[in-house]
Amino acid sequence: MGFEIDKNFRGNAYIVKVQEILLDYSGGFADLANEIPNTFETRFASASMGKTFVAVGILQLIEAGKLKLDDTIGTIMDFDLKSIDPDVTVRQLLTHTSGVPDYFDESVMDDYEALWLDHPNYRIRRNEDMLALFIDKPMMYKRGEKFQYNNSGYILLAMIIEKITGMDFDVYLKQNVFDRCEMSYTGYYSFDKLPAKCANSYIYCPDTDDYRTNIYSVGAKGTGDGGAFVTVEDIVKFWNGLINHKLLSRETVRQMFSKQSGDGLDPEEGYYGFGVWIIDNPDGQDYVYMQGVDDGVSAISEYNPNNGMISVLLSNYGDNVWSRMRKIRKEMY
């Protein structure tokens, strides 16, 4: 059984079930001015989808005995945490229950571009470059008190990877996640040194009824909270790497895909595991997904363990991938 996607979707959509391809769609332009279309090999910015990669890196270090879930940032980090509670744990960072100050609190902020008025985005190339955006802020709530999505927590997790391994987090992820899954088109790239086949990400300008790219809207290079460039096929390879235990043990993947935080009050948002979102499925195994959104970027990918389906939707125009994912669930699950 195949699946039809509406032809006004600008981006790539890919659905596989075991070895069967149910959907392989490309629409819109990777380069709008030169009318270069998106293709199967186009690399898309994936925003917060990268948090899942960082979570896998952390869990690998835990499996290797170099880190524990209940280790505290005060014992790991060697810089002044200011008013951040030093007893915040790795587990709390992974599950968005840390309460550390978030540089972009999505519950009260919606203008991501405003971040760069005082901190030029072209200077954001490493995780420590992000510290100035939140290190002087107070804790948002007492550690472990509740779930609240938190970007800064994943900056700190990437810094933990760097502290323990002595490697830049993206180099570690390339060697221990991407290469292991043969994700040869995935990586963290600087906007001024993009490799071939990277799509521009476009923001609609209602005043002039045209588009501009997002190069002044996000950091110059992705950090621990997101920003990897990916292809739809590489994302499928990533899921298969997890499912087939190329990256983590069976037990660790079980924990990763289990409800660790969140209240499920929003059935679509669901719960949170370790670096992944989880939708409750009372009739079988829960659905697991990762997602990302930035100016001009929207991305979602979901694994349904009940039928082996992996769905990937990536848009470089910020098109609504969530409504289309709901349609996939309704018609395909």
Distances (CA, A) of 243 to 4, 48, 69, 100, 148: 26, 21, 22, 31, 27
219: confidence class by pLDDT, cuts 50, 70, 90: confident
Q: Is the pLDDT of residue 108 over 60?
A: no
276 within some domain: yes
Q: Shortest CA distance to 259 belongs to which of 237, 241, 281?
A: 281
Per-residue pLDDT tens over the stretch 183-214: 999 999 999 999 999 999 999 999 999 999 99
CA atoms of 203 and 214, how far apart (whole Å): 6
- What is the domain extent for residue 252? 11-332
Quote the pLDDT of residue 112. 57
3 within some domain: no
Q: Is the pLDDT of residue 1 over 60?
A: no
**Does an H or E element contain 127, and which?**
none
Q: Is the pLDDT of residue 113 over 90?
A: no
Helices 232-243/50-63 angle, 10° precision: 30
303 within some domain: yes
Average pLDDT over residues 112-138: 80
1 within some domain: no
Q: Is the pLDDT of residue 237 over 80?
A: yes
Provide the whole-model pTM: 0.95
Q: Shortest CA distance to 218 belongs to which of 91, 330, 112?
A: 112
286 within some domain: yes
Per-residue pLDDT tens over the stretch 301-315: 999 999 999 999 999
* Average pLDDT over all residues of the chain: 94
CA atoms of 215 and 300, how far apart (whole Å): 21
135 within some domain: yes
**Strand ranges for the chain from DSSP E:** 11-17, 20-27, 29-31, 36-37, 44-45, 202-205, 210-213, 229-230, 271-272, 277-279, 287-294, 297-304, 309-315
Q: Is the pLDDT of residue 248 over 70?
A: yes
5 within some domain: no
Number of domains in the chain: 1
> Residue 174 is part of a domain; what is its CATH number?
3.40.710.10
Q: Is the pLDDT of residue 172 over 70?
A: yes
Average pLDDT over residues 243-265: 97
Quote the pLDDT of residue 326. 96
DSSP H helical ranges for 129-198: 151-165, 169-173
CA atoms of 261 and 305, how far apart (whole Å): 20
CB neighbourhood size of 204 (10 A): 12
